[in-house]
Structures are given as C-alpha cells and as structure tokens.
Amino acid sequence: ICNQNMADEIETVTLSEEDVQTAGKELLECSRYGELKELKEMLQSCLPEGEANFGAWHRIPASIINFKDLQGSTGAHRACANGHVDVLSFLLEIGAEHAQNDNGNTPLHWAVQNKQKEAIKILCEKVTDLDVLVQNRDGKSSLTYGFDAGDTDILKILLEHKSAEALQKKSQNEPDSEDAVSEKDEQVQTFLHEINFGTDKSILCREIGFNSGQLDEQDNLETTGAVIWAASLILSRWVIELKHIFADKLVVELGAGCGLPGLTACRFTDASRIVITDLMSKTFENLQYNVDKNLQRSSSKRPIDVHALDWCDEASWPSSICNGHTQILIGSDLVYSLDLVAPLINTILNLLDKKGGTFLYVTMDTSRAGFKEFCEGLQQAGLSMSKKIAPKEFLLNPLKSQDKVAFDLHFGEIHERTFHMYTFVRNEA
C-alpha cells in the first residue's frame, strides 16, 4: 500500500495534447481573472474520478501548470500582473515555475511593474531560486523597475531579498532610488516609460499617478497633465511622419503634460528650437524632469526649453515665441471645457506665424465640451482646417519592452477610441 501511495504521488496523469492545450488555456484565463475556485474545479476535472484523486494536484502535469501563451507568459505571470495573490500562492504550491517569458520578463518583473506588493512578497517568500537581478531583454531587472516604481515599500522588499545583496550598497546611492523615496512621501507613484516608435531611438517619459483619495478639485486640475494621454502618443507618431515640415522651424507644444510630442520633435526632427509649455506646478516639475532625463542620455544639442505658459494669462507668455514667432504649434487633448476655448484660441492666434504657421492637434473625443466652438473659432479667425482619423499603425504599442499588460494598463483607451488628427494652417494676406 505504501509503495502504491508513493507511486501515486509522483505519477502525473496522462492527457492528450488537445486536453493539455484546453486545460492550459483555461489556467491562463483563470489566473488572469483571479478565478481560484474555477481553476481548482478545472484541474480537478483533469484527474481520474475517485476519492484518492481529490485535490491530488501533484498529479497535474507540469505542461498544464506552466502552460505558456504566445509570448511565453504563464499563469504565474498573469496572476502577478493582476495581483491575484490567492491564485499565485496556489500555482506556486502546485509547482508553478518562476520562469522568463519571451521578452525575458519573470512573474516578478510583472508584479513590480504593476506595483502588486502582495504578489511581490509572496514571490520573495516562496520562490526559492528567485533572483531580483535577472534581466529581461531590455537589460532591466525587477530591481530596476523597483527603482522606477516610486514606492518605497516595494523597493525595500526587493532590496532586502538575499539576491539583491551584491547590489544593495550601489543601488542605494543611485539617483533614481532617491527620487522614488522622496516621491513616496508625497503619495505619488511614478512610471518611467521607455517609448520607442519603431526606430533605433527611444524616449524616456515619466508619468505620475497621484493618490486620488487625497486630491481636491484644484489638485485634479493640476494633475491632469501628469499622466500621458493616449492622444499624445498619436501626436508623437504624427510628428515623426511629418518631420520634413519641422526642419529649421520654431516648434511649440501647448498644454504639453508629460511632453512626449515635444520630446519626439527634439529627438526626431531638425527643428531649430523646441519650447514645451504647460502651467500647473506638479505637471511642470514632471515636464522638466522628462526633458532633463532625455537630455542626459542624448548627444543632441538642439535647443529645448520648458516654459510656464498659461492660456488665460498673457503676462506668462514668453516673448520669444509670441507675436507670430511660432511656426509649428502642436497639442493633444487640450479642449475639454468651454471656458478654456476662448483663451486657448487667443493663445494660438498670438503665437502662430501668420505666413504658413501650422497647428497640429490630436484628440480622442470630438464631442467634448467646447470642441465644436474651438474648431469654428479657429476657422473664423481665418485658419484652414483639415482632418483625418489616425491610421492603424499609430495605435501600436510604443513601449520599448512591448509589454502588452503595461500598454493596456497605461494606454488602454487606445483600443477603445477613435483618434482624430486636425491640421490648422494660417495664411494671412
């Protein structure tokens, strides 16, 4: 009897390839959605009926437990990304591996990228060969993402793991870790994205998630530009497509938020100067950070400045870009309130060159308050208007890592909305 029991313990059930596929795919779905009960029921159904097999998870083949999707990610990856800790614990208990997917990301990479603190703790406790320094194909370890996460608890858990010992001293001296710690004090989380529009150059762009529970109305207004809106990804790709018209031009971005289109103009065009503007203090600090971060890693000597510019306060407008000096003006998702339409039109008309000045504008919502009045106002002022829908290739994942979960998490609206690209040209006699 004893021998029979031991044999039962090590023997996994034999299933057809088709059954393994079906069970593996279901395991992936249950892990993604945190369906522990359904997961157990499904696995139970893979076992031959009988009391001895009830809950005999050791008999489930590893090919199901570690079933991979088309990118090589497993149920453990998905449970980690979505913070389903009960599913994750169960998978680890029944023998799930902590493996790298095709991009080199481990479940820990995904847990850290998505700030799933509890999942990170579980991995650190239960995975015996966990290594926080294992790098993905972009050369980034979970610890690197920990520094970018802007969450001191996460950073602490990772740094305290035994696999981080070798780097601990060095890491604590790196500027990014200091950024992360100080920002946690202000209840913010930061995401530093490496954006690559399919060329050999990439752009670093940080966005900030504020703890919304602590924000009042003024704060909300102040933080709208601290996140990267999907329209700015479209505008950035459009800037690259139209780079020939930027040569030797003074380019200004209005209401830039995180400043990705302006940074794109700096990196990809031969503009003579780029001025990126916004007004809110939190947004502005982040904008300056993004410009500095990209200047540090690029050899470009193209002049790029950040200026505070309030559409409602002419005294804040820098003279070097005013009175028709701006040849190309760019902006995304600027119109969302009727009150701001007149000041915004006034700003555009003041800045834009009267001889061929061009304003490129992208929005994901043409039904927003004030948008109709905005278009009519510019046309009444003599600007010609043309529009088109963003082409499919502008909607592709721009993250250098090609991480789909992160793309959906941060820019999910790109799949749901139609993006409209407007060109306004001024030609006054």
**Site residues, ligand SAM (CB under 6 A):** 224-225, 228-229, 231-232, 255-258, 278-280, 283, 309-312, 332-334, 340
Alpha helices in 62-164 (DSSP H): 62-65, 75-81, 85-93, 107-113, 117-126, 142-148, 152-160
349: alpha, beta or left? (left if phi > 0; alpha if psi -120 to 50): alpha
Q: How far is the CB of 326 from ligand SAM (least distance, A)?
A: 15
Q: How far is the CB of 183 from ligand SAM (least distance, A)?
A: 19
Q: Which is nearer to ligand SAM, 88 or 256 (CB)?
A: 256
Q: Which is nearer to ligand SAM, 168 or 281 (CB)?
A: 281
Please report, to the nearest 10 degrees, the dihedral formed by the alpha carbons of residues 213, 216, 219, 223 taken in order: 40
User: By three-state DSSP, how is residue 242 classified?
Assistant: coil
Q: Which is nearer to ligand SAM, 224 or 397 (CB)?
A: 224
Q: How far is the CB of 233 from ligand SAM (least distance, A)?
A: 8
Burial 73-100 (b: 16+ CB within 10 A, else e): bbbbbbbbbbbbbebbbbbbebebbbeb
Q: How far is the CB of 221 from ligand SAM (least distance, A)?
A: 7
Q: Which is nearer to ligand SAM, 110 or 422 (CB)?
A: 422
Q: How far is the CB of 419 from ligand SAM (least distance, A)?
A: 11
Q: How far is the CB of 283 from ligand SAM (least distance, A)?
A: 5
Q: Which is nearer to ligand SAM, 112 or 364 (CB)?
A: 364
DSSP readout, 9-71?
HHPPPP--HHHHHHHHHHHHHHHHHT-HHHHHHHHHHHSPSSGGGTT-GGGS-HHHHT---TT
Whether the CB-CB separation of 151 and 113 falls below 8 Å is answered with no
Q: Which is nearer to ligand SAM, 147 or 422 (CB)?
A: 422
Distance CA 316, CA 417 (A): 34
What is the H or E stretch that residue 252 is in? strand 250-253
Listed in sequence order, the residues at least 6 apart from 74 whose beta carbon sits closer than 8 Å to its beta carbon are: 28, 31, 66, 67, 68, 96, 97, 99, 101, 107
Q: How far is the CB of 269 from ligand SAM (least distance, A)?
A: 18
Q: Which is nearer to ligand SAM, 71 or 196 (CB)?
A: 196
Name the residue whose CB lies closest to ligand SAM: 225
Q: How far is the CB of 318 from ligand SAM (least distance, A)?
A: 13
User: By three-state DSSP, how is residue 400 classified?
Assistant: coil
Q: Which is nearer to ligand SAM, 340 or 378 (CB)?
A: 340
